[in-house]
Structure 1
């Protein structure tokens, strides 16, 4: 059964996309720890990030490195935090989180923004790419 992220890649589930290539996708987390919290994934479904082959892993990191400055320009923050947790969805992914304090990385405190708020945030970030 495809992961929720594979279903987003296939267009079966809508997402607030930030950036996309043939191999990678960045989109907003629908239950972010802070506004602008973005998920970066390889389109190829691989459960565990350290099971990615070296080229796909390196490409994922390089893609995230291109997305992070756009988030930082669009969302007032001190820096972009990076997290790989890997337990919640069986599809390798990186969290890019705008940070103003360590509390912004608390995955137990999630926001519940509206679809309009997410769309506006995604547009702000895309404009910075």
Structure 2
């Protein structure tokens, strides 16, 4: 990998484990950590928790590295929260910046139009700012 700094190498290895929590949720390690530290959430929404182990605290702190590069593939959108999860194709800010209360606790699938197999333009115009509308429309459906 060519790391000259041991701290960077360590963060890369911890980030790799965090990536496995996201991509292999049925592995034994993922199930154990999920049961203990992020039972009703995913790794990206987890917290350090009360009295965390040294290993979990280390993996959790590497989450900032993972969050910079991770993106959801939208697909049906049933598993992705509109707010707080990186699903837009913007390299600088993959998160929704609109702050409408109607967006809270809703999934990406709720802004899709099943009839036209695309995004629901009326919902986009009503709830999202111009930047978000443009970013959403650029996401493949």
TM-score, structure 2 as length reference = 0.29
Computing the radius of gyration from Cα coordinates, the structure with the larger value is: 2
TM-score, structure 1 as length reference = 0.31
More helix by share: 2
More strand by share: 1
- Answer 1 or 2: higher relative contact order, Cα 8 Å, separation at least 6: 1
